[in-house]
């Protein structure tokens, strides 16, 4: 049986050999920031809802089964408390996402209005009656 340390070294050596053959085409790291694409309103609302996966509560240690059992037992015992906290945080996130969406709509409307004013030659800062 291979120890974890030996497995890591073998994996690193195999990756280095593969890089020499051109298997990994990695670009040089850059600190240049690319413009982000706009995140859709539906995506913000989706991300606002917290949905933890209890099956992820596990241990990857050698004898992790008892630890996994203990963690899942704690989750089960604390389910009501955790659900209350998750509900409160999800509601807060949803309200923030809705507010951000409304601000985005207002900015877009103001940008359209400013573009219309420029198109009509009235970019003097005055509002029309």
Q: For residue range 39-93, what is the model confidence (pLDDT) as tens digits? A: 788 888 888 998 888 888 888 888 888 888 999 999 999 999 999 999 999 999 9
pTM: 0.54
For residue 80, the model assigns a pLDDT of 94
Considering only residues 66 and 122, tell me which one the structure prediction assigns the higher pLDDT. Answer: 66
Q: Give the chain's mean pLDDT.
A: 84
Number of other residues whose CB lies within 10 A of the CB of residue 59: 14
| Burial label, 104 (beta-carbon count in 10 A; 0-12, 13-18, 19+) | middle
pLDDT band at residue 15 under the 50/70/90 scheme: confident
Question: 44 in helix, strand or coil?
Answer: helix
The DSSP secondary-structure symbol of 76 reads: H
Residue with tokens 């923030």: 96
For residue 81, the model assigns a pLDDT of 94
In this structure, are residues 38 and 74 in contact, taking their beta carbons and an 8 Å threshold? no
pLDDT band at residue 35 under the 50/70/90 scheme: low
Residue with tokens 């198109």: 119
For residue 107, the model assigns a pLDDT of 93
In 3D space, the residue among 69, 60, 66, 64 whose CA is nearest the CA of residue 4 turns out to be 60
pLDDT band at residue 20 under the 50/70/90 scheme: confident
Tokens read off for 87: 């509900």
């Amino acid at each position: 049986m291979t120890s974890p340390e030996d497995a890591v070294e073998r994996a690193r050596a195999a990756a280095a050999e593969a890089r020499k053959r051109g298997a990994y085409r990695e670009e040089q790291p850059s600190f240049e920031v690319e413009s982000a694409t706009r995140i859709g309103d539906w995506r913000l609302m989706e991300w606002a809802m917290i949905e933890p996966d209890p099956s992820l509560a596990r241990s990857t240690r050698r004898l992790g089964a008892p630890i996994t059992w203990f963690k899942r037992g704690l989750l089960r015992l604390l389910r009501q408390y955790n659900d209350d906290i998750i509900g409160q945080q999800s509601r807060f996130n949803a309200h923030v996402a809705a507010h951000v969406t409304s601000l985005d709509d207002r900015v877009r409307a103001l940008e359209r209005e400013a573009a219309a004013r420029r198109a009509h030659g009235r970019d003097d800062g005055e509002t029309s009656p």
